[in-house]
Amino acid sequence: MARLKVGARLKVGILISGRGSNMRALIAACRAPNFPAEIVLVISNEPGAAGLGRAKDAGIATRVIDHRGFNKERPAFERALTAALTEAGVEFVCNAGFMRLLTDTFVSHWRDRLINIHPSLLPAFRGLDTHKRALAAGARLHGCTVHFVRVAMDEGPIIVQAAVPVLAGDDEAKLAARVLAAEHRCYPLALRLAAEKRLRVEGERCLIDGAPAQEAVLMNPPPILG
């Protein structure tokens, strides 16, 4: 995979389209003095994205690159994204609720330096409406995944996952809130691991140097004794 510079804090760009709560979790994590990454640019393809104001409030540089200005020319839109990221010195990109499909133009350029968060335990429930679909399927565990981006939607080596229980009485909003809280913990962890250069992609699986083993079994419902 592409080599990242040793020593300095990793310069990160975030791509958003909406409210940007994962972006805020990343910004908050990067504020810690010993965090090995810093956010240098937030780009939104949506001029009205609420996350833009939140990034500005946090003192982060923002850009709007509206895909509609590119006459449906995805590669041209993606070249504009890469140009803005490169100009800002970005070394690593986090998609955080970025609602545009990316083609090979972008994905190849940023290969193994581009990650995404998805609100399901991939490879289950790729695409949209994941919480609704998990409820409809009667899943007892649901969750989120941070993964390296590949051209196929919601595919790519998995870095971090968190599982949450699906509880009786859950509706889409309750389940989404439980998953979102887990997302806000997973995404900073994945970025930290990347910035510490502890991730290796081999054969489209991501290996984590020094990750402690966790043998606990997650069960929902929990085992009933007696």
Q: What are the catalytic residues? A: 118
Task: Give me the least distance between CB of 66 and ligand GRF, in Å please.
Answer: 17
Residue type at 74 in one-letter notation: R
CA distance 49 to 69: 16
Task: State which of residues 26, 40, 81, 96 lies at the interface with ligand GRF (CB under 6 A).
Answer: 96
Which among 117-125, 155-163, 165-173, 216-224 is the span making contact with ligand GRF, rule CB under 6 A? Answer: 117-125
117 binds ligand GRF (CB under 6 A): yes
45 binds ligand GRF (CB under 6 A): no
Residue type at 127 in one-letter notation: G
143 binds ligand GRF (CB under 6 A): no
Q: Is 123 exposed, middle or buried (0-12, 13-18, 19+ CB in 10 A)?
A: exposed
Task: Give me the least distance between CB of 193 and ligand GRF, in Å please.
Answer: 18
CA distance 17 to 187: 17
Task: State which of residues 11, 13, 21, 85 lies at the interface with ligand GRF (CB under 6 A).
Answer: 21
Q: Which residue is nearest to ligand GRF (CB)?
A: 97
Give the H or E element holding residue 170. Answer: none
145 binds ligand GRF (CB under 6 A): no
Contact 91, 113 (CB under 8 A): yes
Task: Name the residue nearer to ligand GRF (CB basis): 22 or 45.
Answer: 22
Task: Give me the least distance between CB of 178 and ligand GRF, in Å please.
Answer: 12
Task: Give me the least distance between CB of 14 and ligand GRF, in Å please.
Answer: 9
131 binds ligand GRF (CB under 6 A): no
CA distance 91 to 3: 10
165 binds ligand GRF (CB under 6 A): no
CA distance 117 to 135: 20
Task: State which of residues 118, 142, 178, 192 lies at the interface with ligand GRF (CB under 6 A).
Answer: 118
154 binds ligand GRF (CB under 6 A): no
95 three-state secondary structure: strand
CA distance 177 to 180: 5
Task: Give me the least distance between CB of 184 and ligand GRF, in Å please.
Answer: 8
Strands annotated E in the chain: 10-16, 37-44, 62-64, 92-95, 114-118, 141-148, 158-165, 199-202, 205-208
Footprint on this chain of ligand GRF (rule: CB under 6 A)? 18-23, 96-97, 117-119, 144, 180, 183
